[in-house]
Homo-oligomer: A and B are copies of this chain.
Amino acid sequence: MKHAKIVSSGMYIPQKVMTNAEFEKLTMLTIDPYYSDVIGINHRHISEDWETPTYMAAEAAKKALQRIGMQPEEIGLIIVGTDTPEAVSPPDAPRVQYLIGAHKAETMAFNVNASCANGALLLDIAAKYIAMGDCKNVLVIGTYAMTKFLNWKYAWEALFSDGAAALILSASDEPGYIGSVSRADGSWWQNWGIYMGAGTMNLQGIERGLHKLDLRGAYPASVNDEGWPNLLNKLIEKYNIPKDEIAMVFFTQVRKKTILKVMDTIGLPVEKTQIVMDKFGYTGSACVYMAYDDAYDEGKLENVSGKYILFLTSGVGFQQVAVAFKA
């Protein structure tokens, strides 16, 4: 079996910004100091009409390709993870393939939707395609345009921001991909989502507000506060990962206080995670790749060869996935 290494990253952030003060003025709701201090979000990026999910994904992918001088034709598989797709059908992935010019090589392309758990899941699927010899280079992209699905009248909507980020995985003689653990519990499916789809995508559905993100029942804090460390410890135990050889852990950027608490619970210093919601807001399927890209830019991924890089992502449905790589 081949090893799969993460070899590049790139991201795209819309220029248009809405600060917390602007959000408060628009909605006439008070979100600070809670959003700035506990959630860790002080502004959000709003995609314009032309900044569609596939456009943002393609721009992020181009940056990841450019960083290592890779041609789009060298990519064997493109996986796009999103729960804010550009269309119901076709999937975004072949559109992204076209936008980056990889369609000339007939590169395989498909979408995955595990909502905001996509980040770690896509890495897991991509690594398996490399491990089993199907392709040498895989492009995984998370793209998120959730502000296009907001009512702008609830405090919790302050969470959301738009953007895309991409990683490239390549076959290597050195490890590489180690493995993953995951869990899901669909008894929470009705709690939070955009509940428009087959049978409701019509005028009546619009009148019922189904085309907007709807928080019907809050998830208890324990789903992440306890679920994340449990899953991480399961990953660490399953693959015998020595804690002092963990270089970085990247989490879904949904709540700063949760990330700090989870790092403390598993006994890792806060320097070994990357918190980026203060820079980019919450960008769902894209956020964990943004955190990786940001850590790379800050030089935190230098001199970590042979050490472990972990990703843990979590999303409504719900699903949680944790995956381990050696840098």
Residues of A within 8 A of B (CB): 1, 47, 49, 52-53, 83-91, 93-99, 103, 106-115, 117, 121, 125, 128-129, 131-132, 134, 145, 148-149, 179-180, 182-189, 192-199, 201-203, 206, 211, 213, 315-319, 321
Q: A184-B103, A185-B106 are in contact. Are A193 and B318 (CB under 8 A)?
A: no
A-B pairs with beta carbons under 8 Å apart, 14 shown: A1-B1, A84-B89, A85-B198, A86-B198, A90-B318, A94-B186, A95-B186, A95-B317, A97-B186, A99-B186, A110-B117, A128-B132, A149-B198, A201-B201
B319 touches A109 (CB 8 A): yes
Report the bound CA distance from A111 to B183 in whole Å.
14
Q: A88-B85, A196-B88 are in contact. Are A186 and B111 (CB under 8 A)?
A: no
Interface of A is mostly: mixed
Residues of B with C-beta under 8 A to A183: 106, 108
A319 touches B112 (CB 8 A): no
Name the CB-closest residue of B to A191.
Answer: B90
A319 touches B182 (CB 8 A): no
Residues of B with C-beta under 8 A to A117: 110
B90 touches A315 (CB 8 A): yes
A113 touches B115 (CB 8 A): no
Residues of B with C-beta under 8 A to A98: 185-187, 189
Q: A88-B194, A134-B180, A185-B106 are in contact. Are A49 and B199 (CB under 8 A)?
A: yes
Rounded to whole Å, the gap between the CB of A59 and the closest CB of chain B is: 15
B211 touches A108 (CB 8 A): no
Residues of B with C-beta under 8 A to A84: 88-89, 197-198
Residues of B with C-beta under 8 A to A316: 89-90
Given contacts A96-B186, A111-B114, 15 further A-B contacts (CB under 8 A): A85-B113, A87-B196, A88-B194, A89-B194, A91-B115, A91-B317, A94-B189, A99-B186, A108-B182, A108-B321, A111-B112, A132-B132, A145-B199, A202-B211, A206-B206
B145 touches A198 (CB 8 A): yes
Q: A103-B186, A106-B183, A113-B113 are in contact. Are A94 and B201 (CB under 8 A)?
A: no
